Each structure stands twice: as C-alpha cells, then as structure tokens.
A and B are shown apart, each in its own frame.
Chain A
Amino acid sequence: MPRINSASELEKLRQEIRKKRDPKKLSIALCSGTACLASGCESVNEAFESELSKQGLEAEIALRRTGCHGFCERGPLVVIYPEEICYTQVKPEDVPEIVQSAKEKKVIERLLYVDPVTGKKVKREPDIPFYKNQQRFVFGPNRWIDPRSIEDYLYIGGYGALSKALFEMSPDQVLEEVKKADLRGRGGGGFPAGKKWEETKSAPGETKYVIVNCDEGDPGAYMDRSLMEGNPHSVLEGLVIGAYAIGSHEGFIYVRQEYPVACTNIEWAIKQAEEYGLLGENILGSGFNFRVKVHRGAGAFVSGESSALMSAIEGKVGEPKLKYIHTAISGVKDRPSNLNNVETWANVPLIINKGSEWFRSIGSEGSKGTKIFSLVGKVNNTGLVEVPMGMTLRQIIYDIGGGIPKGKKFKGVQTGGPSGGIIPEQYLDTPIDFDELVKLGSMVGSGGMVVMDEETCMVDTARYFIDFCCEESCGKCIPCREGLRVLREILTDICEGRGKDGDIEAIEEVAEVMADASLCALGKTAANPVLTTLKYFGDEYEAHIKEKRCPAKVCSNLINYYIDPDKCEACMICLRNCPSEAIQGGKGLVHWIDQEKCTKCGICYQLCPPRFGAVVKLSGETIPAPTPGKTVVRKKGG
C-alpha cells in the first residue's frame, strides 16, 4: 500500500474502498471478543470457513470476525447483514443451517434471542432490548469492523477526524473543541481532559508525551479491553489528534500483558497506520510527526495510577509519586506528559467529527457524552453497555440488564471498583454521572457495575475489596499499607464470628486516616467499599458482630448446611459427591449431614435438584438433630 500524502488522497482511498463494497451484500459477522472466544467462537469460525468453501460461497458471502459486540452473556454471537439478524449462543453444528438460511433469506427461529419479559423472539439485533436502550457511539463500530483491517476502519469514516484536525483546524482549535465538549476522563475521577491537555501543552519543555492508559485493573471492568481489541484504530486516531493539539511527537500505549489480544491488535494497528502514512513522519503530508510505542504492563494494579504508570514506562517499579507537581508538567522522564484512558481517547475523533455541540447535547448537566459500563454480576443480561451519562441505575439494570436472575431480590450495585462503593436499592433512580455517584460515596470509576442480589453478604464483599487492596498496595506509604492490614484483620474477624464491640468505630477511624494521609488514590479511596456498606447495610455488620449470624448466608464460619428430612428424596446425588464424606444415609434412607465432618464446601447445596430443594443453609439458628435411619416415602410421580 503506497502511503497517503494528503487529505484528498485519504478521501479518494475511502471512496475506492466504498466502491468495492456493496452494503447490500450478504455478510456474516462473528463476534470474536474475548468472551465469545471463551464460549467457543473459534470452532464456529472454522465451521463457517469450511461450510463457505464447501459450498463455494466465499465470494458471495463475506465472513467477518469482529471485536466484542457487548452482549457477552449470549456468545458466540453471529449477525447476518444487511438484515442484521442476530443469532445467539451459536454452535458449530448450527453453521450449515445458518449459511443455507442466509442464502435463502430465511430466519432460523430457534437461534433467535427470546425476550424474557414478553416471551417473544427478536429477529434484528437493534431490536433486542439489551441493545435498543443503548446509544453506542464509541463502542458501536466494534460490531462492523475487523480490528485487523484498517480498510474496515476507513470504510466507516476512520481517520476522517484526524484529517479534519490536521488540515482544517489549528492545534489550539482542536484543544478548544475538546475543552468546549467538556470531555471528562473515563478512567476514574472524571478530570476534564481538555484542562489536562492544556496544562501539558503550556508546560515548559520541547519534548512532551501523550499516553494511553490501558492498564484496566479494576476487577469487574473490561470495556477498555474490548475497545482496544475490537477497534484499536479509534484509540490511535484519538491519540494522534491529542498529540497534535498538545504539540507532542512521541507517545506510549500502556497495555496490561494480561490482555494479549489487545497488545497484538494495537501493534498491528500501529504498523498499518504507519504504512498508510497516518502515523510516523509527515502524517498525511501535513508536516506533523508522531511516533508511538507499546509498553506492556507486567501486572500491578497500582501501576494504573498515572504517576506510577509513568514510572513503569521508564522501566522502573510502578509506584506512585507525590503529586505536588502534576504529571502534566513533570511525568515520563520528568517531561510534560498527558495521560488519558482508552475510552477517553476513543471519544476524541467523535468530538472532532461531530463537534462539541453535538457531544454536549448528550449526557447530564455535569457529565457529557456516553459512558461504557460493564454490567456484570447477578444480572440477567451481562455485557458491555454504552449509555448517555445521566441514565438511572434502574434503567441500566432493569431495562438493559433485564433484572436479577432467578427471581432473586436486588441488594446493591458496586460501581467504581475497589475505589468505589456499593449503592443500595433506595438510590436506584439516581442518574449516573461523575458527580452524582460521588455524592453517594461511590464513583463512576472506569465503569465497572457489579450487581449483587440478596445472596451477597456485604461484610464479606467489603472484606473482599480490602483483601484486594492489601495485595495491591505498593507499600510505599504507611497509612495505606498498615491501614489496609488493620481493616483486613477487623473485617476477617467479623466475617469469621469474632467481631466485637468497638470494631465499627475502629474501622471508621482507620478509614479516616487512610483517606487523609495516603499518598495516592489507591489508599485514599480504598476504604470506600467498607464505608458505603457500613452506611447502607449497617444492620448486616450488627448481625455478624452481635448475633454471629450472616443474613445472606455466605460467611462460611457462620453458616451450616442442613438437609430437610421432609424434602430429601434420598437420591444419593449429594451423598456420592460430598468430598469429605460428611453426608450419611443411603439408598431409600433420608440423608443427613455429619456437621463434624462437613467442610462447608457447598457442593451438596449446589447439586441438590431444585425440585427437591432439600439442602438448606442455616445461620444463627439451631441445627435440628439428624434422623438417622429415616426412610423415604416417595410421593406418587415424584
């Protein structure tokens, strides 16, 4: 491919690509995001390839492997264009039928998504409630393009914003547009991106750096991964535009090595962009030079913090620094460095293309644009959702997420990862934006949204996050390192039935010191999950401490498994599978658990057929004495 030397050459190439492609042509898009890969889309792809070649249809039907579509719960996903017919949970054996029906313009009813609310089958992808209630500007193109194909990206208008910025706008105009759009950072705190850019731009020093942060460490969040894997050029385009505005000629893309596909796809995108003259020397013939290097992160949560990440780029230990001087002024190699997260960068081309007015028309008063959330945990439709800021938690969890599985009751939703908090039911109608969630003691963070039902213990969850931060604290400052250790001890005691009076006061005191005196945001915010659970679920703490009872029946020291002799049908399933041989009884004899031997692994609870439901969890109640030798009287037809 000869390099592109001007804006008009780019448009010419785009027209050529568009001319070659017929939008009405039959094509099959197979989602190949990590979740679909995990559900077996590799073998579905092989089946498509062999079926298309067997029938000699390779020229007639285009097969495209795309990035993540978002509806990960239902993978592998297949979408047939131009009709946008969506098939979910596709297996290799379905493939011949799919190809045949696509050819004949028919629809396979059994592979369609069934709306659990109406019970109706939904034919087209955009009509599925999960997608219908979203506005997918940043994440949407994932489903149309092969992340390894720059032509696909150019086809949908890619690098048009870069060309506009370079030839129709001055760097100051680009900066002004991003400032006017009020784009706030999507990685955590929601700091205005334009302000950060301006600070770096006006900082003294010739050499400045721009950095993409893809060290997505928050457990429960994976939108950056899916963007980086599915549409790497959009991130790259945003980065080059930012570099132009700031006056930077060198950049870094920091990707955690746990995301191998993201590493490969961005490397691939960089290579292609360089070949096409969209990156490197004299970009598009504009005279602007910009080079970028990929830096793999070696696995440390704290390295996602901006100053720590910059140390890691220098090949050092990723520990945060005191920020009395902003990294915008003194970052990588003590030079002005502007860092934004993946999703923030991917928003930039949209703002340049459609203008700040358009961007500001979406979202809430203080938070403009859309945000991608990873809606996971105890919710029916798990996956990635992109919604305008200001949508309520209830809309996201119920209208898009389809509510809580198995008719269970909603208990709370965790946002913002280990720095965030847990929001209870009474705040479900809160509009989500950067400021509203902070008011509730939580934060948007990078966009993790973990839904919890009545079977989640809030004390155990608080302990989980403190455990997480204990392991991830770099240990540089004492309030974080020691504060977390103390919190872990107290919470473990409470979960294991050793809680005592004064524990809650001690937690609050330690949390206050950590928030005041820790060096970086990890320590400052680490106690948020504990403080929000104390505030909203204080009665659960009380039950653990005073009654030695776990209301959600999770904390294993405080629960016992028990087989209800009136419900047990002596089916032998739990008895055979108990790893510690704690279940007694036999064929025709009601089973019972020897509490001395029981390790509380929960296998019997999970294996007992739901139609019997004989294994139950007890907490704070006396375990009824077993009835050895009791025989089962089988009900007719049972």
Chain B
Amino acid sequence: MTLTKLPIPASYIADAPNHRFTRLASDKEVAAAALALTGRGMRAIVVTTREAAKEAALKLIPHGSQVFTVSSKTITQLGLAEILNESGQYQSVRKVLNTLDRRTQASEMRKIASIPEIVVGSVQAVTLDGVVLDVSMSGSQLPAYAAGAEKVIWIVGAQKVVKDIDEGLQRVYEYCLPLENQRTMDVYGVPSEVNKILIVNREPKPDRITVILVKQNLGF
C-alpha cells in the first residue's frame, strides 16, 4: 500500500467525474469483498436488487429503534430515509436534529448525532480485501460510524468495490468529490472538500457493522 494519492490539497476538485468508477464489480469481486469483510469483523450481506437491499436493511432495524440516517444519495434512492424518518415506526434522530437551532444548539446536535442506537448510511469505497473508506467534508457522520452507534448499517452499490485503498482514494477524488461538490453548491452554495477520511480496517465488536452490498449502481 502506497497511498500515492495523499496528500492532496483539501480544496482540490477534478473538473469532471471519472466515470470509470461507475463500473459495477463482477459477482466474483462482490463475493470477494463480502467474504473479506467477514475477516475484518463486519457482517456482509449480498443482494441483487435495490428492493432486496431495502428489505435487508429494514430487517436489521427493529421498530422503535433510535435511527440516524446520514445524508446519503443511496439511502434516499432506496426510500429508506423516508421510511425511517417519516413512518413514525422509528425514533428518528434526523427529525430531532431538524427541530434544533444550528446556531444555538450545535453542541447538542453533535452529541445526538454521535451516539445513535443505529446509524444507516453508505460509504465511498470497499476494497476487495474488505477495507471500508468513508469520506466527509464536516465529519458529522464519522463519530457514529467509527464508534458511537451501537449498530452501523452501510448500503453499498457494487460500483464502489475497488481494488485497494489507493484506488478507493482515487475514486473519492476523481468521482465522488466532483459530484458531491455539485450537490453542496446546489444545496448550500459552497464547494465540497475531502476533509476527513475514515478507514475501517477491522471492527472489533462482533455484529456492530453490517455492509449490504448491492449488485447495482446505487448512490455515488
């Protein structure tokens, strides 16, 4: 492992997304990543459709659970954000956060988002040997992902399976960042940055992290 892509200035943004990173991993690559995840203490579930991914995720979330849905195109595409936040069947952390004032209650917001019972989101890359990369501009989802949440559910489209950490970082800079930048410009009027990078090498708590690998393009 060389990590040749770092350090790159946080403000670096490629002109256009490199669509090489939309290529779906083969069945063999998906199976390899899934099996490798198990050796790193994470549960892996492989499904073929978005509907199956949604069902698999909901099976892992008992009604009444306190759930934090991270801002994620994947979660939105699956309709999970709507079910988990709006159905009334779960304790939505997102809904609580939306009632708080970012200017005066930022500390409380950070605490609430850091220690949910269950966090549901996605990541930018999973390597063939089972390492998970998640990148963030603010880092708001990272406390829950890394240790704060009792359970972590990541739903990952097969286009996010990469060879190794280097290729994962390349995917982040050359594909995810230009798209995320467009999103943050549209929504917040500010450019995005690769500011915080979480690399999950192993999860020591059994069954804490479940990765649902979907054999379809999902999110970015």
Chain A bound to chain B: no
Residues of A within 8 A of B (CB): none
Binding site for A on B (CB under 8 A): none
